């Protein structure tokens, strides 16, 4: 039996790792259910959701040319049409969680959350284009603009660092006694 992408099959869990579970499909073919494809909510440990010898329904999501089969348990669940799977809850104690407070009371003038740079137009986070030429005031800076800003900042930091270290050593050409 050829395994096709999109097919729903039943299989038995034959191995559990920290990154997913191996499922034996019909005919001795084995596929991997990645940890992100086990459940709709956050899965910290695969063993909390699956055990060895569990029989699960999986959907084939990809078949590589080298024979590796990617499976999904959460996509195999039949949902009524138009329903949306539950979203992952984002909290600060999980990897990738959001730690920003809601409300934005700490964003400074302008409320945009940007950096207060000279000529930056307040706290809006977007550059203010006084001249009106070149790129639009609210467009993304080009690669060249980013690179020139980086070089300028880098040179300023290096000169500041050199001044500080030279003053501690006695400046140029000072002989140690």
**Could you read off the pLDDT of 68-107 as tens digits, one per residue?**
999 999 999 877 766 666 655 555 554 555 554 545 444 4
Query: Strand, helix or coil at 62?
Result: strand
pTM confidence score: 0.47
Task: Answer whether 145's CB lies under 8 Å from 152's CB.
Answer: no
Q: Residue 121 in contact with residue 109, Cβ under 8 Å?
A: no
DSSP conformation class of 83: -
Give dist(CA 164, CA 126) in Å, integer: 32
Q: Which sequence spans correspond to the domains of the chain?
A: 8-76
Mean pLDDT of the chain: 75
CATH number of 8-76: 2.40.50.140
Nearest one of 136, 110, 135 to 125, comparing CA atoms:
110
């Amino acid at each position: 039996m050829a395994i096709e992408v999109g097919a729903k099959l039943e299989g038995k869990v034959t191995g559990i790792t920290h990154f997913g579970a191996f499922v034996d499909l019909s005919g001795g073919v084995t596929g991997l259910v990645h940890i992100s494809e086990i459940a709709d909510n956050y899965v910290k440990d695969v063993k909390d959701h699956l055990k060895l010898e569990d029989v699960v329904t999986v959907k084939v999501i990809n078949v590589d040319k080298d024979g590796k089969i990617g499976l999904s348990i959460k996509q195999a669940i039949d949902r009524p049409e138009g329903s949306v799977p539950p979203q992952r809850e984002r909290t600060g104690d999980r990897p990738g969680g959001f730690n920003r407070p809601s409300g934005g009371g700490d964003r400074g003038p302008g409320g945009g959350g940007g950096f207060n740079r000279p000529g930056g137009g307040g706290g809006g986070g977007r550059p203010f284009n006084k001249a009106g030429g070149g790129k639009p005031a609210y467009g993304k800076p080009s690669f060249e603009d980013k690179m020139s800003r980086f070089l300028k900042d880098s040179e300023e930091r290096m000169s500041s660092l050199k001044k500080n270290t030279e003053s501690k050593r006695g400046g140029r050409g000072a002989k140690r006694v």
